[in-house]
Structure 1
Amino acid sequence: MSLEQLPETDDGIATGEPTGIAALVLGALACVLLASPFWAEDHNKLLYMLLAFPVGIAALVSGMSVTRRVRRGEATRTGMARAGIVLGTGASLSVAALVCWGLWVLSHLDV
């Protein structure tokens, strides 16, 4: 799909790739979930934070599918998809690091 073939809005502005937008939204949601212990007021703070891992993985997969489609020539834009990949990967790796650190701390407690 070339730039001329992209669908346009009523304002004449070309719209983005839906999967790239999904990757960006999922990556941003993963970052918000990761920060949930700082703003959530209920008892599910840890659950929200752990949910950042699968949401981040979904952002990564969604963004990678857009980059594959660009390489095949089926899509033209990767900006939002790359942002989703970065946000999703960062959130997922942060959750994994926090879980590993928590397990290490628990294994070194003298109970």
Structure 2
Amino acid sequence: MTVPEGGGTETMEFLVEIDIAVPADLPVEERERRYADEAAQGARLAADGVIQRIWRVPGTANNIGVWAASDASELHGHLASLPLFEFMTIRVRPLARHPLEAPDQHERGPARRKEDREHYR
């Protein structure tokens, strides 16, 4: 569990794997609208610190990410808020801190991403 910046409620981290299978017969207009709404909602969840890290599975619309929530019920609410939720197969694993993790690594969050990008230049 972690405590968000500025104090507040502890959060749990979850490894979330999402496979998306939008039906082929979904009208093009609805498909485009839902994908646009999905991107907007995903951006909101990331800005709110719910989606902490996310990776695309190459060649698919599927993704794997680290999400934060106070408990599994709150996580479910976040996942259910996604416009493509009804077309998703979602696997969730609660995470616990590993003793080998660097003491400050967990707290760095998004700053680590910048370091990662610069490391791989």
Q: In proportion to residue count, which structure has more helix?
A: 1
Bigger CA radius of gyration: 1
Q: In proportion to residue count, which structure has more strand?
A: 2
TM bucket, shorter chain: under 0.3
* TM-score (normalised: structure 1): 0.27
